[in-house]
Structure formats: structure tokens, C-alpha cells
Structure 1
Amino acid sequence: SQRPYPAGGSIYELEIYPVIGHCDGLENGLYHYDPLQHALHKLAGESAEVKTLLQLSWFTGSRQSPPQVCLAITARFQRLQWKYESMAYALILKNVGVLMQTMYLVAADMGLAPCALGGGHSDLFAKAAGLDYYSESTVGEFLLGRPAAE
């Protein structure tokens, strides 16, 4: 699939899972973004795991209030590993940085308050999303919300 950021080999191993704490037009919960259909698919409602994911990202980001949206970024490791073998993980982390930079630029242009986080609770996220931790895990998080009142 074509995506609005560059990626090594145009393989696009990264997936985005919005974790919604408060967003007009969306129920709170965990979603997966499907780039082929340009659609969100709800995976979980406002479960204990989803609430904990939002709380942990709030503490990690040192924000004044809970995040409205946390974009959990995962990597499907085998998409790259078959081709790049020993350098696949390093390439994944570089691609996460490229994606986060793109999201910073877009969020700033939209007047949103972005905050990139380096990781996340991979075990908890895999449980909430119903993923196999060893084939797809979080490699970054990106918080979005309204800017704080000045």
C-alpha cells in the first residue's frame, strides 16, 4: 500500500492503532487503521487494558491531562526481516522516526498538540489488541489532542 511517508524498500511494516480516550465522532476504545480501505476497525471498547494504555501514555508523556488520542505504532517484523535480516530492527526504528516526524508536521499544521513517545507497554497492548507479541509489537506511541489553553 502507498502511505504518506517513506519506508525502507517501500515495505511498510508499521501499523497504526488509535487508542481513543476522547475524540468527537468516535467511541472510546482501541482501533486498527486499515490503509488499504482508509478505514478504522474497532478492536476493543473502553476495557481495563485500553484505560491502562491511555493512563501509561499520559504518565510517560508528562502531560497535564489524559491523552485524547494515543496512536500506538506497531511493527510486523516479518515484513522486513525476510529481506533485511539482521538490520531489520534498526530499519524499523528508523521508519518509526520518519513516521513520527511526518505526524508531527501534519499535527502542527492542523493545530493539534502532538507528543511522540519512544515505546509503550508491548505486552499490555498485545493483550488489548489480540495480537501475537512476537510477530507484531509496539515500537512507538504518538499522543494527539487539543493544545492546552493559554
Structure 2
Amino acid sequence: MTLIERLKDEQKAAMKAKDKPRLGAIRLAMAAIKQREVDEKITLSDDDVLAVLTKMVKQRRDSAAQYEAAERQDLADAELAEIKVLEEFMPQPLSEDEVVALLDAAIAETGAASMQDMGKLMAVLKPQIQGRADMGKVSQLVKAKLG
């Protein structure tokens, strides 16, 4: 079952259960996916859908942090609830040890030795960890290894 099919099935289940917060989060995800399909005139693969969901989670984390800084916990809680729903459709996150292991394997594969090789290294790493690890933290690890 593709990721879009899972989203559609969960959307129907949320409608039947009258779970408005869950339904709203799933509808937002479906709208973002549809928008990208229309904009690019393509049908998104599971990897593309995962990239959309990852971006949505990142946006919501940023929003929640801003709401908390502005002492609007009610709005932050709404964002965090949406994150929980979206994360159900994403693969299990990698531990830091697993990320380091993948990074070491990618360095061995590409022969990366300096910061100039970071692009090649990230090109190999990104498909393996997309949606499963924070790319900002991965970038920091890469810089530490190559720097």
C-alpha cells in the first residue's frame, strides 16, 4: 500500500470516528501533496510524499517553538498534535548511532575526505535517511567528520 493510499484510508477512518483534529491534520497533508502534484504536473512517489510530510513536520516544529516563545501554549499544543498525526505516516526515526553508521558507510563508499566532498556524501546519505533523521543534525555530523 502506498503512502497516499494509507493517508486516504486514515482520512476515511477519521471521518467515520468524527476525530476532527486528526482529520484536519490528514487533510492538510493531502492538500500539500496535491498542491505539489499540481504545481509540478507529476504523480508523487512515496519518497516525494515523505519529503512533503517531513517539510510539514519541520514547519510545525518551528511554529510550535515560536508559539511557546510567545506564551501561546494552546496554539503550540495544536501544532504538536498535528506533528503526532503526521509522524504516524513516516518511517521509524533513526538513532544517532544508526545515523553515524550510515554516515561512515557513505564516507567509505564515496571516499569523501574533506568538506569539498560534502555534496557527494549528502547525495548518497539523503535517500537513506530522508524523513528518518533531522537533516540539520546530520549535516552537523558530516561537518564534524569531514572538518
TM-score by length of 1: 0.29
Which of the pair has more CA radius of gyration? 2
TM-score by length of 2: 0.29
Instruction: Identify the structure with the greater strand proportion.
Output: 1
